[in-house]
Amino acid sequence: MNIEKIEDRMVLALEGALSNSEFETLMKVINENHEYTLIWKSYQEMYQDMEDVLPETPSSEVATKFHEWLDNYQEEKVINIAQKGVKKGPIMLWRKWAGVAAIFIGVLGFWSMYQSNRQVEGTLADMSKQMERLMEQQSTSERIKAIRVNFNPEKGDLSNTMIDVLIQVLNTDQSSNVRLAAVETLAQFMDKEVVREALIKHLALEEDGGVKLTIITILGQQKNEKIKTTLENIVNDDSQEKFVIDEAHMQLIRFDQIDI
């Protein structure tokens, strides 16, 4: 073995990548040669020095600033909830949509009565209540809560109508946190083609990086050629944020373990 190879072995030994027998052979070679012994010692000490490096400490101002920011962040949230009903724009949209939904539910309700099927009637009544509850919410946190409670996948499979409602929320709600809640709930139904399609389509429209990241992570768990193409398009799209590209790239790596 030449000195270059001996050095390679030394690094592998310190990385814990050698077997016991390989390590013993290396030690034998090192101990028989003074130059190798010095090189080995220098590597050992360099590793020890790296081990001993302490984290740097920022000034206390950094912690103070962050805690102040965190306090203000919480206050902002409280103010938003307190201002319930003040914002008109998105609420008008919700009401309009709630009207359409109510008519739709009414028609479905009538049909269920016609069928004299109490079970269907009960389900639709529940749906109606759930939807009304969702539509009535005016603060972001209440709408998120409505999604979490009313669209709980543990209650069982969602009907197509309910999934449509969630997709509508995803495509129309102005709050990124509400859209995120919709994405996370829809993620429980990735076996449905309509859900996969909706998430892929929404990805092209979404402006919030956090929502995009979540959708990419969810899509990345599905082995599907269309999703792969979507992720590849993101990786090649320079207008995307760096962290979004990175996440898409990471999911692609996981996807087939070869695209680097």
Per CB under 8 A, residues contacting another protein are: 7-8, 11-12, 14-15, 38, 41-43, 45-46, 49-59, 61-63, 65-67, 69-70, 73-74, 77, 177, 180, 184, 209-210, 213-214, 217, 241-243, 246-247, 249-250, 253, 260
**Amino acid letter, 250:** M
What's the gap between Cα 34 and its chain centre?
55
Question: CB 195 → another protein: shortest distance, Å?
Answer: 17
Least distance in angstroms from the C-beta of 250 to another protein: 5
CB-based contacts of 173, cutoff 8 Å, min separation 6: 90, 143, 179, 182
Residues 6 or more apart from 184 whose CB is under 8 A from it?
A: 214
* Contact status, residue 210 vs residue 221, Cβ threshold 8 Å: no
From 112, 118, 191, select the one nearest 158 (Cα to Cα). 191
Backbone angles phi, psi at 28, to 5 degrees: -60, -50
The residue (of 59 and 119) whose beta carbon lies closer to another protein is: 59
Cβ proximity to another protein, 46 vs 92, nearer residue? 46
Nearer to another protein, 88 or 242 (CB): 242
Smallest distance from the beta carbon of 178 to another protein, in angstroms?
11
What is the smallest separation between the CB atom of 228 and another protein, expressed in angstroms?
A: 17
105 or 227: CB nearest another protein: 227
